[in-house]
A and B are shown apart, each in its own frame.
Chain A
Amino acid sequence: MNSTVIALLYIVSSVFFIRGIKLLGKTATARKGNQISAIGMAIAVVTVMIQKEVMGSWSSNIMANGYFYIIVAIALGSLIGAIWANRVQMTGMPELVALFNGFGGLSSLLVALSQYVYESSNAIAHDLITGISLGLTIAIGAIAFTGSIVAWGKLSGKMFKKPFNVPAKNQLNGFVAVLGLVAIGFYAISTNVYGGMVAVLFATGLFLLLGFTITITIGGGDMPVVISLLNSLSGIAAAFAGFTINNTVLVVAGCLVGASGLILTLIMCKAMNKSLLALLFATASGAKKSQAAGEAKEPKAASVEDAYLVLEAASSVVFIPGYGMAVAQAQHAVKELAEKLEQNGCEVNFAIHPVAGRMPGHMNVLLAEADVAYEQLKTMDEMNPQMANQDVAIVIGANDVVNPAALDDESSPIYGMPIINAFEARTVFVLKRGKGTGFSGIENPLFTNDNTLMIYGDAKNTISSLASEFDDD
């Protein structure tokens, strides 16, 4: 096909992506935006199929026909992707996104390797810029791949669960990165086929290792940042793959994803009051045992019946969900209780911290799944000014995001992180599986406040029995 037509079709495709992302950012149009971006993708795929390089692979012998393999590969990938997308539980969303992202990164890595094999087996010389971009595609694709796999393992609880301490992590990572970049530089300037191959393989191995060692030390609570950063990286990898094979739509779409992912990452960092660098380069912190002994107050426990009596009299209740709600799969029970409360004439809201859960917006998705209307989902900034007027705050499996130590205890590791001011509500119920400090290992003074009552046990059971108390009347 005429190269002008190809270029025009790629421009159309890029416009669909841009428009799609724009619409994806507004609640009312988000679904349409996603569909528009999918159309852009379809246009891009059809376009590459009629490009002359691809058409050159046509053959009347089906086993030698490039299209045959391409169609089989697309069919296989579509099938697997569709099955996973339909089967996943909403609570499993973070790990699925991490896994998909890892595949995208690995795919870019393989594109670079395949391009390299083509060039070397046909003795095609590369110029400096395409050489460097091929190397960077390998580097970023490899980091996105192994990083995402580690994130997937941590999130699904299958692997790498414990923050793992790599000795002299930063020095080691720095060394690996420099070595890998040297290998890429060597490949980019070398004309020696054998040397080039060694350099490419060496760089691939090193950056696969680097993706692993960077993410393995990062704990589950910081995953929202890690996932959105890895998402950004897989976009950048696609953009560099575009430089490598000289394709505009890859550069545009990849870079759009890279930039938007980076913005999302920075929003998440801000919500945790951590700098991105501190998060990536902090050596596995573990629990700081800085808590002053002495004022060891015991948290007060309450029964479901006690809690019911308070809730029945309440005229405003705010739920503050955290990762524990996802673990307990309690979102449907929460919705049921919220309905009961509303029937009882109570105003119900949900206050959602930007980094509650394991991916950005995790809680919103779970509550949406349970049919909670999105007007009831309030951000931290919307809810905090009204918190003192709330009769009851129910904290479900959240810990750090309601920890008042972030406001006033300078020795606390999370000091300075913006929190939901649950402690200002007249009564606070904290639903928790058991005593203990939770994932981050940080003491939470909220639990020992005078207006706080702890309800221990499985969050789903607790909420369900609270809801059924309302039925008994």
Chain B
Amino acid sequence: MSIMLIFVFVIAGFLGVELISKVPSQLHTPLMSGTNAISGITIVGAISVAAINIPGTVGNILGFLAIVLATINVVGGYLVTDRMLGMFKKKGDDK
């Protein structure tokens, strides 16, 4: 299983490089905050570790904090990116 994941890791790495080359510079900030929101995917790991530890134990509390932090990253990241992109307009677009 670990070998499978390493395989996935390497392929995803090359894919990431392909996806990002040739992005216009005006999109650099939204791209960064948008991918930053995606890095909040660790929320999935946080939920999973919070659940396997019995409520009230140290492991569970750490998991709880991890969920809160990752959710801030995810929700805040997507919303702020959306807000930013909403401001990019072509000339003559409605306000």
| Residue ranges of A at the interface with B (Cβ–Cβ < 8 Å) | 17-18, 20-22, 24-27, 30-31, 33-35, 37-38, 41, 44-45, 47-49, 51, 53-54, 56-57, 63-70, 72-74, 76-78, 80-82, 84-86, 88, 90, 93, 96-97, 100-101, 103-104, 106-108, 110-111, 113-115, 117-118, 121, 127, 129-130, 227-228, 231, 234-235, 237-239, 241-264, 267, 352, 354, 359-362, 364-365, 368-369, 371, 373-377, 379
Contacts and interface: CB of A to CB of B under 8 A. Distances in A.
Nearest to A62: B55
Say whether chain B's binding surface is mostly helix, strand, loop, or mixed.
helix
Interface of A is mostly: helix
B62 A362 contact: no
A248 B5 contact: yes
The residue in A86, A88, A264, A374 that gathers the most chain B C-beta atoms within 10 A of its C-beta is A374
A73 B86 contact: no
Given A77-B69, A354-B25, A374-B89, A41 B59 contact: no
A85 B85 CA distance: 13
17 contacts: A31-B82, A68-B55, A72-B64, A77-B67, A93-B33, A101-B73, A107-B40, A107-B69, A118-B52, A250-B45, A255-B12, A261-B35, A267-B28, A360-B32, A361-B27, A364-B25, A365-B84
Interface in B47-95: 47-55, 57-60, 62-93, 95
Given A17-B38, A110-B69, A376-B91, 15 more contacts: A37-B78, A53-B52, A54-B47, A68-B55, A76-B68, A81-B72, A81-B75, A100-B80, A101-B36, A110-B66, A237-B39, A238-B40, A247-B48, A260-B19, A364-B26
A361 B29 contact: yes
Nearest to B62: A114
A269 to B, nearest CB: 13
Contact of B69 (A41, A103, A354): A103
B88 to A, nearest CB: 5
